[in-house]
Structure 1
Amino acid sequence: MTVFAPTDNAFNNLKAGALNDLSQQEQVQLLQYHILAKFYTMSSLLLVSNPVPTQASGPDGVWGLNFTGQSNQVNVSTGLVVVQINNALRQDFPLAVYPVDKVLLPEALFGVKPPSASPPAPSSKSNATEAAAGPTTDNNSAGGRNVALGLVVGLGLVCIGILS
C-alpha cells in the first residue's frame, strides 16, 4: 500500500471551510484518494501507467493520480493540485508513506460544479417571517480543524493497522 500523508501546513493552506462543505461520505473518499492499493517506491512511481487508481475509485469511475518527474524528483497531480514528493517517511514493503505539502484534491469533489438548472422561485414569505427565523450560524474555522484532524487521525489509524 502507498499512502500520501498531507502535512499540517497542507491542511492550513486549504481554503477556509473547504472540508466543511463535504459530506461524511465525501470526507471518506478524500481520505481514500490519498491511498494506493499497491506498494510503490519513488522510482517505481515514475514508471506507472497514468492515471493510477486510488482507493476512492469505484463504480462511478477511476479517481486517479498522475505521476511525472525524473530521477529523484516525483510530482503527483490530481488535475487541480500538483505537488512534489521529496522523500519517504517509510518505504519498506508492504507500506510506503510519502509526506505531501498539499492536500490532494480530487476533481470529482473540488472541480468546477455544473451550473444548476434554474434558480428557485421566489418565496411568498414576508420579510418579517424570514427575520423571525433567526440568524444563521457559520462554523468554518472550528469545523474545518475538526474535519482535518479526523482525516489525519483516520490516516494514522490505517497506517498503524498495516504496520501491526
Structure 2
Amino acid sequence: MQFPRTFLIISSGLLLCSSFTYGQKASPPAPVAMTPTPTPAPAPAPAPEYVNITYFLSVAGPFQTFLNYLESTKLIDTFQNQANNTEVGITIFVPKDSSFKGLKKPSLSNLTNDQLESLILFHALPKYYALADFNELSTKSPVSTLAGGQYTLNFTDDSGTVHLDSGWSRTKVSSAVHSTDPVAIYQVDKVLLPEAIFGSDIPPMPAPVPAPVISPAADAPSADSKEGSASSKSLPSSSSSTRLVGLSLSTWSHLVLAISGGLVLLF
C-alpha cells in the first residue's frame, strides 16, 4: 500500500514538471525592446569670415594717407564693426595718396577733430553696394553716408562710370579694389569734401599760369644813353649847322652885289 502511493506521488510530480516544461517551450519568446537611434544634431553653421579692412587698404594700393586718418581718429573700429557685425555691410570710397597731396585749398589741417571725423565717415555708405547697384542708386540721390545727417552724396551712372558729387567736389570711381559682400572698396580720384563743412561754392578751375613779364630795366636806356640823348637834343645836328652857314653866305653875297650896283650907278 505504501509503494503505490509513493509511485503515484512521483508520477504526479513528473507529470507536473513535464507540463511546465512544455508550457515554457510552447510560449512564444517575449519581444525584445528596440532602443531608438538618436537623431544627430545639425552641424553648426560656419562663422562668417572676418573682413580686415586694414589689410585691404595696406596691400591693395597707395591708400596709406586715408588709412592713417582712419587709425588716428580710431574710425577703423567703426568701419570694421559695420563690415563684420551688421547684415548690411559697408561701401568705402578711398582716395589715393596723391589726391591728398594735391589738396592745397582747403587744407584738412585746419579742420577740428569733429569735422575731420565727419569727413572720413563721409567716404563710406552704411551698406554694401556692388558696381551694378549704382545705376539704381543714382535714381535715389542724395544718399546718406556713414557720417549721417546732412552728409549726403549724389550719384550718376554714365555708361558704367560712376560719378560722385559731394556738393563741393566732384569725382568718379576709377577702379574696384574689393567688392565681395559684405565689404566694397572703390578707388576715387579726389578727396570727397562735404558741403556741410566747406559750403556750397565749388572752387573754380585754377587760372592759367600768366606769361613771364619782361623786366622794364632790360629795355630801359642807361644813364649814359639818357645823357647822350639830352645832349643830342640840346646841340644842333651837323646838317642844321651846314644850312645855317649856307644861309649866312647867301645873305652876304646879296648884300655885296647890292652895294656894288649902287656904286656903278654913282659913277
C-alpha RMSD of matched pairs (Å):
1.6
Where does 1:51-130 land on structure 2 (aligned, <5 Å)?
A: 51-57=142-148, 61-111=149-199
More strand by share: 1
Aligned residues: 110
Cα deviation for residue 17 of structure 1 reads: 6.2
Relative to structure 1, is the Cα distance of residues 54 and 70 closer, same or farther in structure 2, using a 3 angstrom cutoff? same
Q: 1:1-164 residue pairs with structure 2 within 5 A? A: 1-15=90-104, 18-48=107-137, 49-57=140-148, 61-111=149-199
* Secondary structure of 1:20's aligned partner: helix
Q: Are the equivalent residues in 2 in contact too, given 1:29–1:56 (CA < 8 A)?
A: yes
Q: TM-score, normalised by structure 1?
A: 0.63
2:108 match: secondary structure: coil
Q: Which amino acid aligns with 1:41?
A: A
In the aligned structure 2, how far is the partner of 1:23 from the partner of 1:76?
Answer: 25
Contact 1:2 1:96 (C-alpha < 8 Å) held by counterparts: yes
Kindly indicate whether structure 1 or structure 2 has the higher relative contact order, using CA contacts under 8 Å at least 6 residues apart.
1
Structure 1 unaligned regions, length at least 5: 114-164
State percent identity of aligned pairs.
37
2:145 maps to a residue whose letter is T
TM-score, normalising length from structure 2? 0.39
Shift >4 Å, 4+ stretches: none
Partner SS for 2:176: coil
Flag structure 2 segments of 5+ consecutive residues without an equivalent: 1-89, 202-267
Partner SS for 2:150:
coil
Conserved? CA contact 2:167–2:200, under 8 Å = no
2:249 maps to which residue?
A: none
User: SS state of the match for residue 175, structure 2?
Assistant: coil
Q: Deviations over 1:68-103 (max 9, x none)?
A: 023321101101111111221000000000011100
| Corresponding residue for residue 116 of structure 1 | none
CA distance in 1, matches of 2:134, 2:164: 9
Q: Which one has a larger percent helix, Structure 1 or Structure 2?
A: 2
Q: Distance in 2 between matches of 1:102 and 1:39?
A: 21
